[in-house]
Amino acid sequence: MRTPKFWTRKDGVSRAISDALLPVGWIYGKITVLRAKQHWKYRARSRVICVGNLTVGGTGKTPVAIAIAELLAQRNIQPFFLSRGYGGKERGPLVVDVKMHTAKDVGDEPLLLANAGPTIMSRDRPAGAELADRNGAEVIVMDDGHQNPTLRKHISFVVVDAQAGFGNRRILPAGPLREPIKDGLKRAHAVILVGGDENAKITGFHGTVFRAKLVPQEIPHLREKPVIAFAGIGQPRKLLQSLRELGANVKSLKGFPDHHAYKPKEISALQVKAAEAGALLVTTEKDYVRLPQRRRRGIVALPVKAVFEDPEALQAYFDRFSIPSREADGA
């Protein structure tokens, strides 16, 4: 879906639209809270770390999940990712194979995760965790699922975009929240605050807060040519921001709805526009994996990494929750 503008704007029209949707949001929030309180949790043999959020789209969950997996690798632990595979036709559980599966099969996020480590895609999270256990997982990093009660979590992180916050602080469809802030934070062990300055904080949350930032990575020829960008993510302007941080001369940005399934004519139009302008055609990694292989000609993906401000503090936090660690071979 494309993020509605009235979720963030404060003008009278935006307020009126949101007000009209408040009753639906109230019902949605109540259902989510009641579901989250249910006690039908499956206990996996492995430790489960959930990387979730309270809003829809654009907080940086997937890069944060990958960064957490990299910290676990420093403990000589190979985690398994678990994703529900939003946008894919498969139900799972299955092990994602980037050489065989496409975004139409398993969704875009599982493909991104599978490029970083073993990944299970499953609509049924307990079934996915069971498959990970059978494959020898010691730790599962679950991308999304804070509102899902079916799998017991040993650590629940809530990722918050420090710039966007919680928008108008209203529940879907009146605002971007999946559930009331108070209820969602109550179930969180810790918050990961992404971006913002050192004064950014989460009002009403008195637990542990870790800070991270999304760092765009250099790509060849970025400053040698003008750039035409496109993105189908929760907040397309984040791509524009990242490119400008790298000094790119961005001529235009075309935004699409989150998880957008690109049509051949849309891709062709962008490629023609870039060729005519002598420009570099750039998109996000998440968009890139949704493009069919034969349609990727001349398109460059901009990698973005989540970098923790204090990774040692996060490692100590893992120790508190008995997340495994082992000596390196030969140590």
CA 51 to chain centre: 8
* Sign of the torsion angle spanned by Cα atoms 238, 21, 169, 32: negative
Average pLDDT over residues 73-99: 95
Q: Token digits for 235?
A: 């907040």
DSSP state of 42: B
Question: Residue 3: enclosing H or E segment and its boundaries?
Answer: none
Residue 38 has what pLDDT? 77
Structural domains of the chain sorted by starting position, each given as residue range(s) with its CATH number in brackets: 47-79+138-214+307-320 (no CATH), 218-302 (3.40.50)
DSSP 294: G
Average pLDDT over residues 116-145: 97
Residue 28 has pLDDT above 70, yes or no: yes
SS3 content of the chain, % helix, strand, coil (to 5): 35, 20, 45
- Give dist(CA 216, CA 282) in Å, integer: 13
> Of 169, 159, 182, 148, nearest to 57 (Cα)?
159
What pLDDT, on the 0 to 100 scale, is given for residue 216? 95
Confidence class of residue 35 from pLDDT cuts 50, 70 and 90? confident
User: pLDDT tens digit string along 177-186?
Assistant: 999 999 999 9
Residues 6 or more apart from 160 whose CB is under 8 A from it? 53, 54, 59, 166, 191, 192, 193, 194, 202
Whole-number Å distance between alpha carbons of 287 and 16? 33
Residue 84 reports pLDDT greater than 70:
yes
pLDDT at 108: 94
**Cα angle 149-128-132, degrees, rounded to a multiple of 5:** 120
In tens, the pLDDT along 254-269 reads 999 888 999 999 999 9
Tokens in use for 72?
């676990």
Of 76, 113, 68, nearest to 95 by C-alpha is 113
Could you write out the DSSP letters of every residue in 198-234? TT---TT--SEEEEEEEEEPP-TTTTTSEEEEEE-SS
329 or 228: whose pLDDT is higher? 228
Residue 79: which of 142, 140, 152, 156 has the closest Cα?
Answer: 140
Average pLDDT of the residues of the chain: 92
Q: Is the pLDDT of residue 98 over 80?
A: yes
